[in-house]
Structure 1
Amino acid sequence: MVRHGTFAYTWDLVGDPAAASRIASLGVDTVTLQAAYHSVRATTAWHPRHRVVHAEHAAAYFRIRPERWSGRLRPPAPGWAVEDEDRFGTAYAALTAAGLRTEAWMVLTHSSILGRSAPELTVRNAYGERFAHALCPAQPDVREYALTLVREVCDQYDVPALMLEACGWLGFDHLSAHEKTSGADLSPCARDLLSICVCAACSEALDTDELSTRIRELLDRELQDGVPAGEDLVDALGPSEAKALYEHRTTVISGLVHDITELAGDREVLLMATDDPQVTGPDVGLDLASASPTAYTLKCWDEAELAIARLEAARTDVQLVANVNALGDRPHELPSLVSRLVAAGADELRYYHAGLASPARQQAIRAAVLEVN
């Protein structure tokens, strides 16, 4: 039987006694609940006390125990929506009481507030510019921060699974402030080049001086002369340089996943990922045969044919979870898409997002669950 789950925020549940039963009415058996998350502005259509939540910075939604944080980085508590020092625990208890299996949704390396406090721990591009939103996972302090997040959730809550988002590098693309970068007409390859980290930690594995020089040449030629940087990173940097970059990323990400799996014990570890090693972002890009999570969560938010091809190409010995967007342009097509994704190899489904979905989109989730039992 296929497991159906949905994403939810703690502020969808805390302070709303009807929220857990409303989510259960979708027919899902699992909820992926935010435990550590980045900044966001979200609607809360049914909450008795608010309609829009503005989470101004990344935060931990579980109880923060100061004595457990000995490293340089510590997540701040949230200061918005319903006041509760243990919002994850409160929401987790409500979902459990409603008969729903609850996973901890953990965003590990995406935090502008921490990046601004320790810029030397963030991604540094070839021009020496820092991306405050992107903590570099090759930095030992960032790795320790990510592991402490996981350790604290595992120590405090009997969750059956962890959903890992941003378990690697975030890159150039980031919706921040008022974005004013589209007019430069940067190609996908140029954006990937701008996303390559050449910080001190990454320089231990890569020749970052030579790499930075090459990247600047390619980017300036595209930005100033309109000459494309390349078809992809292999074309732009050459096979050996691209291979070294991919191996570095895979080593760091797979090592972090291994350590998280050790901390998790008998809990499932679900890694948001893609098999494209050029990718930086919430879904890490790596060779799917290199890491050892319980399951890979693959984003299926684009055209159906592309999503199906991605699932078929990703088939490994590890289970596959299809992350399906119920907020897209064609919610009425959700049931047929889900059926095709399961036929293509999806072992489980997660619908994004119970709290953000309109009544019509929630009905589409119900129909999709009924379509694939």
Structure 2
Amino acid sequence: MYVFVEDIRGEGLDKVLDRVAGYGVRGVTVAAAYHATRDVTPHGQSRLTRRRDGVHFTPPEDLFDGLRLTPPVQEGAAEEPLAALRQAASVRGIAVHGLAVFLRNATLGLAHPDVTVRDCFGDRGSPADLCPAHPDVRAYARALAAAVARQGVDTVVADSLHFRGLDYDRSAVPLGPMDAYLFSLCFCDFCMRRAADLGVDAETAREECARIVGGVLDGDPPAQGEVTRAALTAYAGPEVVAYARARSETVTSLVSAVAEAVAEEGSRLVFLDATGAVKGDADGLPAPCLAAHDAWQSGVDLLALGDLVHSFGVCAYARDPARVADDVGAYRRSVGRDREIRVVLRPGPPDTDSAARLAAKVRAVRAAGARAVDFYAYGLAPFPVLDRIPEALSQTP
């Protein structure tokens, strides 16, 4: 079960853990390092909870000493809520995993704009998106991973450890999926240099992206259809596709460094791929292309990561149990059948409208080879929705 420190603090640690244990859940994944957001929390101390960028612990000085980027510290971190959670969970036989959001931090991005992504027009309009190619960001990610592992968690669940898609509040321009993708590509000096080192004409790729996206912003019709390598080649040309593919080296090498840092602290890394969450977040009706096949768009090379990481988190945000099973199967084939797959399900809307549907999805993912089923998230779902979990966990393939 995914849980937030703010929810535990509001309801009471023992009360939350007793309820979670009553569902038959054997572990909690606590948001040790998270990003700013505002959540409707139906049974929280506040019904609208504001979460801030930062960590719920005091950053170890030896890990961040000399680094330009250090994580903001959450209110109440000095009370060591993670240590209290770990102790109370241990008494109940509940494992504790630490969720770390790595490259999504507007507080750091606003303070240090040069470490954020730079689009094809040269703008840095996404302060929350830290660029995984920037050396300062890479050093920060490695230190953050070690810091979370040092909290004594069983695993570090790595969220946003890759490039992210275009995020904006408003647009009166009907950007198509491929236009939005081209707009999201980072052309900072470090990204362009890495691509050039791999033989890509990075400047030509940038110019093509600016030409195409600029045309749509000027009134050209947007491109339709899903983003595939074939469609993107036809729309933007091979150099743009080569540039997009080159991003996987940046992500793979960063994940390798983070996994090493976690291992040095005696824990292990779970790589959480957000592709499935992005595809089905709004309505639980993802486009036909499977999440594992779209992961490359964020620079995620699942074949390469399968050699580096033992455990993968798959966000299966879909209404249809068969689609959920297909997504799990595609991940297993991509990362290797000996790798652990942890499937993240939402027990309520918009993905799940009944206990029967949740149970059907649990059966489906287990039959597809998932090692574990995780539920997102305790504080976001009403109690009647959470009450579906015991029946779902009793299912067999």
Smaller-chain TM-score bracket = 0.7 to 0.9
1:18 partner SS? helix
Could you tell me which residue of structure 1 aligns to residue 281 of structure 2? none
Q: Deviations over 1:271-313 (max 9, x none)?
A: 1125324533xxxx52211112122211111242433222222
Superposition pairs for residues 214-233 of structure 1, below 5 Å?
214-229=208-223, 231=225, 232=227, 233=232
Could you tell me which residue of structure 1 aligns to residue 191 of structure 2? 202
Could you tell me which residue of structure 2 aligns to residue 125 of structure 1? 119
Residues 221 and 229, structure 1, Cα contact 8 Å, conserved in 2: no
Gaps of 5+ in 2: 196-200, 276-291
- Whether 1:300 aligns to 2:324 is no
Q: Distance in 1 between matches of 2:240 and 2:46?
A: 51
- Whether 1:371 aligns to 2:370 is no
2:304 partner SS? coil
Superposition pairs for residues 1-373 of structure 1, below 5 Å?
6-14=1-9, 16=12, 17-46=14-43, 49-55=45-51, 57-66=52-61, 68-69=63-64, 70-79=66-75, 84-130=78-124, 131-155=126-150, 157-173=151-167, 179-181=169-171, 183-206=172-195, 207-229=201-223, 231=225, 232=227, 233-246=232-245, 248-265=246-263, 266-273=266-273, 274=275, 275=292, 276-280=294-298, 285-291=299-305, 292-304=308-320, 305-315=322-332, 316-317=336-337, 318-329=339-350, 330-332=352-354, 333-372=357-396
Q: Which letter maps to 1:115? A: G
CA 1:239–1:42: 2 relative to 1, 3 Å: same
Q: Which letter maps to 1:350? A: D
2:110 partner SS? helix
Q: Distance in 2 between matches of 1:331 and 1:269?
A: 32
1:349 partner SS? strand
TM score, norm. by length of structure 1: 0.88
Q: Distance in 2 between matches of 1:344 and 1:30?
A: 21
Query: How far 1:43 sits from its partner (Å)?
Result: 4.3
Larger relative contact order (Cα-Cα within 8 Å, sequence gap ≥ 6): 1
2:381 partner SS? coil
Higher helix share: 2
1:19 partner SS? helix
Note the aligned Cα RMSD (angstroms). 2.2
Range moving further from structure 2, 205-214 or 38-47: 38-47
Query: How far 1:52 sits from its partner (Å)?
Result: 3.4
Q: Percent identity?
A: 24
Residues 335 and 367, structure 1, Cα contact 8 Å, conserved in 2: yes
Range moving further from structure 2, 233-242 or 347-356: 233-242
Q: Which letter maps to 2:71? A: P
Q: Distance in 2 between matches of 1:199 and 1:13?
A: 40
Q: Which letter maps to 2:331? A: A
Q: Which letter maps to 1:59? A: G
Q: Which letter maps to 1:314? A: Y
TM score, norm. by length of structure 2: 0.83
Q: Which letter maps to 1:269? A: L
Q: Distance in 2 between matches of 1:327 and 1:115?
A: 33
Q: Which letter maps to 2:22? A: S
CA 1:362–1:372: 2 relative to 1, 3 Å: farther
Query: How far 1:351 sits from its partner (Å)?
Result: 0.6
1:41 partner SS? strand
Residues 205 and 243, structure 2, Cα contact 8 Å, conserved in 1: no
Q: Distance in 2 between matches of 1:46 and 1:230?
A: 41
Residues 34 and 88, structure 1, Cα contact 8 Å, conserved in 2: no
Q: Deviations over 1:136-158 (max 9, x none)?
A: 01001001111111111223x22
Q: Distance in 2 between matches of 1:277 and 1:28?
A: 29
Q: Distance in 1 between matches of 2:370 and 2:77?
A: 38
Gaps of 5+ in 1: 1-5
